[in-house]
Amino acid sequence: MEAAVASALTKEVVLKLVTLLSEKHKLSKGLKGDLRFIHTELDMILCDMDEHLGDPSHSSRRPQVVSMEEMRDLAHDIEDCIDRFLPCAACEGEAASVLRRVKKAVTGNRSRFAAEIRKLRQRVKDAHERRVNYGVNGVRSAAGAGAAAPPAVADAAEADPVGIDRPRQELVELLLGSEPGPPGVISIVGFGGSGKTTLARAVYCCPGVVQRFPARAWAAGSEHTYAGGLLTAILRQLRRTVDVPQDQDSINNFLRTTECLIVIDDVNKQHWDAVRATFHRETKSRIIVTTALHSVANACSSGDGYVYKMSVLDAQLSRVLLTKKVFFGGCSPELERGSTAIVDKCDGHPLALVSVARFLLGKNELTGRHCTQVCRNLGLHMEEAADFTKLQQLLVNNYRSLSDYPLKTSLLYTSVFPNGRPIRKDTLIRRWLAEGYVQCRYKRSDLEVADENFRKLVDRNIIRPIDGSNNTKVKTCKTHGIMHEFMLHKSMSDNFITSLHDQNRSKFRHLFIQNPEGGSTLGLNHQHTSPASDNISGSSEKFRARSLTIFGNVGEAASEFCRCELLRVLDLEECDDLEDGHLKDIHKLWHLKYLSLGGAISNLPRNIEKLHCLETLDLRKTKIEILPAEIIGLPHLAHLFGKFKLGKDLKVGELEKKSLPKKCKLQTLAGFVADENPGFLQLMSHMKKLKKVKIWCCESTDENNESMPHISEAVQKFAQDGMDTADVRSLTLDFGNSSGGFLGSIQEYCYLSSLKLRGRLTQLPQFVTSLCGLTELCLSSTNLVGNDLSNLCMMPCLLYLKLVEADLTGFIIKDRGFPSLLSLCLIMQMPVLPTIGAGALPRLVSLQLLCKDLVGLSGIKIEQHHCLQEVALDSMVSAKTVDMWETAAKKHPRRPKVLFLKRIGPSETKSTVKYVAADEPIRDKASSVEFNQVQLTQNMLQDECMISLDQSSSMSKLNSAMKKIIVSDPPPDTPELSSSGNSVMPPSAR
């Protein structure tokens, strides 16, 4: 990990050296020679580093040039030196005054820049000579870096799993209730340590499954470097129970006509490509695979397959597991506190809970205080204690599985956010871009690369989506709790991330303050901090930090911003006590690219115009209502968030001439209030790169207001400009109490990819249904009914539709309506659902019906939607309604998940209602107690349990003796948590 971070950092420094050595910088001959020497040495170091990282076992004749620790420090110092003198890289020759500053700084015998460069050259040279002379290999040992051999078979102490009954029942029903054909391949996907292998083993060992499939085989993909050997291993096991032919054609026919059960544990794409051709589409064989990648699971289960997503244990089941493993006599009130800390830290990760339990078993006297201390230093214990060896191996393997160093660095960067706190995807991506952690390749934008990196982390289940938007895209996310702890500890060990209260904070690249409770700094990885360092005032030390993130109160640190003179990211959105006066010197943060401010800020200083490099300004949580003209003049501002107006004394003509940059780079303007001052609306025509716009119509606005034509013209101009680009273009209009009749004047032949309208409409504007390229549409509180809503079916390319309406009476989706729609979200006050024709919504994947008063299926026939994967209901619906939907889902060929969303209050007055994910429906108290008692009883039982098969049409074909299947727990020698998905099936189960 340390080598990866050092490599990514060094490559960034090399790019900066290339920029500095370009012809536009007039450097002295001696200084240019020093820079070229450093550039050449760093290139050689990188080659050596990449060679080692590519093959750690490789023994090069040339000794390692420099240790990773020394390489990191050198790269940091070189980058710091360059950043203090190098102008904004995005200017490309525009800022002449900045270039003059560099020229002045780098000329003269006593130039501080030249002197610093000479010192750095000597340090690089000395390091090189020292390593060559002494032949020292500067790479850490595998143990020191957290490396480990692949995990071995779990031991018998991990028997008796918790929380496995429900998923085991679901998959057993799916296997035993299917005839040849569907369900195809069952993929079990989830983060390492979540119990994928345990679940697959429980299904594999089920007596009913054994009886149904006498020919079975279990193969571990991790044991086969070459995918071809996997099929050989499977056939070898099958030959032990049945007579399997030898030639390929006969093998294919055998697998097609014989009922076999094959489990491939820890499969990858290469494994699947090698074996899938052997299994005929109409085979009688059944295949179960486990994988940590969603993309692999989807590929394996494409067509008629089924993907089961592992979920973390909830707090109740986590306590059950701890009670079984360590709190044998139950928890005293004092010990309960400690158990709560463990549950919160492990975040429902089974292997983490088992590892902590093992560690605690070695203590003579177990107290709640000791449990809390273990949690505070869990990262250190994971690195050093043998009880955490398997967990440490799993987390390191997850990290090393990432494709490149920028991606790994981007993942490490997520640990700057508090554990468990939701992170907005867009915020994270913009911060990556501001930090320079995205390396664009080929002909793609940095944003595309950053978005792809995010998808890779989600695909590997390292980042977990927790709240999807109406178009099924990830909106907010968080890292798994135990992965966060691992990354934070490593980041601190490698001088990457630490608290601002750390006594060695000046050496770190990213600083944070986290004090959500009681105003005290969280004791994360407490060994890295010191109470004596809490007083950070009165010192002249300079920080090399590139970001500062504050959650809670900033306290005395409010005066310390300017000492972080190289900051690129200043995230104060969640800072509660930051006041206007604290920003008076913010203009000194010349390199700042990302700035967000909290709820106590009401005004911005005029000198904010000196933030030349600023790209993102987030004012959504502030009290700022009037946007300073200086903001509009920032030359690199690309994303502006808030809800503001232009001052009444500001004249648009003056703004166009003096404030607005010649080449305005604003892409996101979300958003502004359109009132009697049409300034923003007129300025939009000069913002050629706009892609996302949000407009609130002032409450006093009416049809006769003279600003209405300006809104119509601005919207039409924005939408027509998209015709030439066919790029992502999003428009949000909130016209509140006023009528949206002005939309009727917009001509046709416009282009938008996303449109959101909120407010009363007398009829559906014609331009909406005629928009080219519209894939996402949201209508909220429009009061449209009947034919107007039915006319939406005329939009053949629409992928995502969200309706937030009081009444959907008369909404009819006719046969072949919405042929492309993937997601339909209906938020209603009245439980009246649309009438859906038999051939409508043929590609529907997600159906969200959010009304707490929904009764039963309300006429919805989900069996008509063959691609359906999920149904979301309001968490307040009745238990009877939940049962009806879950029963209908079981009868559906793809068995869609029934999810529950909890309604929360709007974040602002008159804004649309919002929903967040809920673990389960909110039942009445009596039902909840009964449900919890049943669940606990199921988890504590160690003997056999009964599973009643669903009485579906396919199951009715089974022999009556198979309608009740005894499902016993795995044998004692089978492990509870094959967490990494790499364990081999024990011989007893073969």
Q: How confident is the model over 213-222, as pLDDT tens digits?
A: 888 999 998 8
Rounded distance between C-alpha atoms, residue 767 and residue 789, angstroms: 14
Q: Is the pLDDT of residue 121 over 70?
A: yes
Which 3 state secondary structure label does DSSP give 75? helix
Give the residue-averaged pLDDT of 645-667.
73
Instruction: Give the CATH class of 775-918.
Output: alpha beta
CB 157, CB 357: distance < 8 Å:
no
Helices and strands in the chain: count of H runs, count of E runs: 30, 31
CB 290, CB 979: distance < 8 Å:
no
β-strands 306-309, 846-850: how paired? unpaired
- pLDDT of 981 reads 35
275-305 tens-digit pLDDT? 887 776 667 788 999 999 999 999 998 877 8
Q: Render 87-126 in DSSP notation, one character per residue.
A: --TTSTT--HHHHHHHHHHH-STT-HHHHHHHHHHHHHHH
* Cα of 340 vs its chain's centroid, Å: 26
- pLDDT of 889 reads 93
Give the residue-averaged pLDDT of 868-883.
93
Preceding amide of 183 cis, omega within 30: yes
> Which tokens go with 760?
């009363």
Helices 405-413, 425-435: crossing angle, 10 deg rounding: 120
146-168 tens-digit pLDDT? 333 333 334 433 567 888 998 99
Give the residue-averaged pLDDT of 339-361.
91
Listed range (145-149, 191-195, 544-548) with the worst mean pLDDT: 145-149
- pLDDT of 135 reads 54
> Which tokens go with 715?
């919207």
Cα 25 to Cα 17, 20, 84, 725, 750, distances in angstroms: 11, 6, 15, 36, 45
| Side-by-side strand order, sheet with 463-468 | 423-424, 474-479, 463-468
Q: At 985, is the pLDDT very low, low, confident or very high (cuts 50, 70, 90)? A: very low
- pLDDT of 588 reads 87
- pLDDT of 56 reads 46
Cα 289 to Cα 129, 263, 604, 903, 967, distances in angstroms: 52, 6, 56, 36, 20
Quickly tell me which residue has 């599973």 as its tokens: 947
Cα 238 to Cα 84, 108, 252, 257, 986, distances in angstroms: 67, 80, 13, 14, 15
Buried b (16+ CB within 10 A) or exposed e, 786-813: eebbbebbebeebbbbbbbbeebeebeb
Nearest residue to 810 (alpha-carbon basis) of 824, 830, 839: 830
Query: Where does residue 665 rank: exposed (0-12), middle (13-18), buried (19+ CB within 10 A)?
Result: middle
Cα 479 to Cα 174, 381, 425, 485, distances in angstroms: 31, 20, 12, 10
Give the residue-averaged pLDDT of 352-366.
86
- pLDDT of 424 reads 92
Nearest residue to 391 (alpha-carbon basis) of 156, 158, 139, 140: 158
Listed range (188-192, 883-887, 925-929) with the worst mean pLDDT: 925-929
> Which tokens go with 693?
């716009």
Q: Is the pLDDT of residue 592 over 80?
A: yes
Rounded distance between C-alpha atoms, residue 600 and residue 586, angstroms: 16
Query: How many CB atoms are located within 10 Å of the residue 317 CB?
Result: 20
Which 3 state secondary structure label does DSSP give 564? coil
> Which tokens go with 699?
């409450």
Rounded distance between C-alpha atoms, residue 157 and residue 900, angstroms: 36
Q: At 990, is the pLDDT very low, low, confident or very high (cuts 50, 70, 90)? A: very low
CB 72, CB 491: distance < 8 Å:
no
Rounded distance between C-alpha atoms, residue 774 and residue 323, angstroms: 54
Which 3 state secondary structure label does DSSP give 188? strand
**pTM for the predicted model, two decimal places:** 0.84
- pLDDT of 153 reads 38
Give the residue-averaged pLDDT of 547-560.
82
Q: Render 544-601 in DSSP notation, one character per residue.
A: --SEEEEEE--GGGGGGGGG-TT-SEEEEEEESS--GGGGTTGGG-TT--EEE--TT-
Query: Where does residue 836 rank: exposed (0-12), middle (13-18), buried (19+ CB within 10 A)?
Result: buried
> Which tokens go with 169?
């029942």
> Vertex 588, ends 587 and 589: CA angle to 5°?
90
DSSP category for residue 143: T
What amino acid occupies position 404? D
> Which tokens go with 576?
């509660």
- pLDDT of 91 reads 57
Rounded distance between C-alpha atoms, residue 304 and residue 895, angstroms: 11
Q: Render 603-648 in DSSP notation, one character per residue.
A: ---GGGGG-TT--EEE-TTS---EE-HHHHT-TT--EEEEEEEE-T
Q: Is the pLDDT of residue 905 over 50?
A: yes
Assigned CATH topology for domain 156-312+942-989: Rossmann fold (3.40.50)
> Which tokens go with 74?
């050198």
Identify which has the larger pLDDT, 177 or 873.
Answer: 873
Exposure of 387 in the CB half-sphere (CA atoms within 13 A):
19
Query: Where does residue 408 rank: exposed (0-12), middle (13-18), buried (19+ CB within 10 A)?
Result: buried
Quote the mean pLDDT of the chain: 77
CB 782, CB 760: distance < 8 Å:
yes
- pLDDT of 48 reads 60
CB 656, CB 686: distance < 8 Å:
yes
- pLDDT of 196 reads 93
Cα 519 to Cα 418, 488, 510, 534, 662, distances in angstroms: 15, 21, 21, 13, 46
801-840 tens-digit pLDDT? 999 988 888 999 998 899 999 999 999 988 999 999 988 9
386-438 tens-digit pLDDT? 999 999 999 998 888 887 778 888 999 999 999 888 899 999 999 999 998 88
Nearest residue to 326 (alpha-carbon basis) of 368, 298, 380: 368
> Vertex 654, ends 649 and 602: CA angle to 5°?
45
Q: Looking at the structure, give the CATH architecture of the domain made up of residues 401-494.
A: Orthogonal Bundle (1.10)
Helices (H), 280-414: 294-300, 315-325, 333-346, 350-361, 368-376, 378-384, 389-400, 405-413
Give the residue-averaged pLDDT of 26-30.
64
Q: Is the pLDDT of residue 670 over 50?
A: yes
Backbone angles phi, psi at 644, to 5 degrees: -145, 170
- pLDDT of 163 reads 87
Backbone angles phi, psi at 191, to 5 degrees: -65, 150
